[in-house]
Amino acid sequence: MNKSSLREIKKEATAHALAEAAFQLALERGMDGFVVEDVVQRAGYSRRTFANYFSCKEEAVATATVPYHDVGEFYELLNRMPDSTSPIDAMYQFVKMQLAEESLRRMKQLFTLSKSYPGLEPYTLTAVHLLQREAQNLLTELFRESHSREYTYLLVGSVCSMIVPLLDGSLLVRLPGEAPDEETGAQSFDDFFDTAFGYLRNGFLLD
């Protein structure tokens, strides 16, 4: 591993430690209950280091919820799929991998926090945006010879746009790990996910 790679790993670890400290403080105290100085003390870094990565505590809190898996995992998964795998099927597997139970739980906690602290709201889309950007880069690389960029952009945008309403409560969806609620009749995340991709595969035609 070269020095550049080691430097990038160290930078990612620092950003993660700062973001995680901010996120845990937000859950424990609320957004008004801590300041940047509390974040750096808990993470063990200086305020100057914090400023190298984040513009404010709100950005750090949001960044901690960004789902992340090594793209190598995705390629391993894709290699086990047929050569005829479509962009929709690849996107399905990518999002299922990224939006595991823990990732969804943390993202929902972020959206819940933003309802009480409006200053956090502009940053709630950070996680979704970064997920969208990573998915777009992957699909562009995988299908550049068979599908236009317009197609993959529309596909990725359509899929990522469905994430926000299930996190902010606009759609009644029971996330993984949540108990069934007969009163609300919320469908499971897996059912919602399969239904959404069913619409994509069928060109949004109703059954």
Taking only the tens place, the pLDDT of each residue in 116-162 is 999 999 999 888 888 899 889 889 988 999 999 999 999 999 999 98
- pLDDT, averaged across the chain: 88
End-to-end CA distance of the chain: 53
Q: Among 35, 64, 93, which residue terminates a domain?
A: 64
Q: Say whether pLDDT at 170 is over 60.
A: yes
Instruction: Say yes or no: 194 and 96 in one domain.
Output: yes
What's the average model confidence in pLDDT over 79-89? 85
Instruction: Quick: pLDDT tens for 99-111.
Output: 888 889 999 999 9
Residue-level pLDDT at 62: 95
Q: Say whether pLDDT at 18 is over 70.
A: yes
Residue-level pLDDT at 68: 66
What's the average model confidence in pLDDT over 57-83? 81
Q: Which residue has the higher pLDDT, 99 or 62?
A: 62
What's the average model confidence in pLDDT over 81-91? 87
Range of the domain at 34: 1-64
Instruction: Say yes or no: 52 and 148 in one domain.
Output: no
Q: Say whether pLDDT at 88 is over 90.
A: yes
Q: What percent of the chain has pLDDT over 70?
A: 95
Instruction: Say yes or no: 12 and 34 in one domain.
Output: yes
Phi, psi dihedrals of residue 155, rounded to the nearest 5° = -65, -50
Among 159, 191, 190, 186, residue whose Cα is nearest residue 173:
186
Residue-level pLDDT at 57: 97
pLDDT band at 25 (very low <50, low <70, confident <90, very high): very high
Residue-level pLDDT at 71: 63
Q: CATH number of the domain at 57, please.
A: 1.10.10.60
Q: CATH number of the domain at 76, please.
A: 1.10.357
One-character DSSP codes across the chain: --HHHHHHHHHHHHHHHHHHHHHHHHHHH-GGG--HHHHHHHHT--HHHHHHH-SSHHHHHHHTT-----HHHHHHHHHTS-TT--HHHHHHHHHHHHS-HHHHHHHHHHHHHHHH-GGGGGGTHHHHHHHHHHHHHHHHHHHTTTS-HHHHHHHHHHHHHTHHHHHTTSS-EE-TTPPP-TTTTPEEHHHHHHHHHHHHHTTT---
Tokens (6 digits) for 168: 């902010």
Instruction: Say yes or no: 108 and 26 in one domain.
Output: no
Residue-level pLDDT at 207: 56
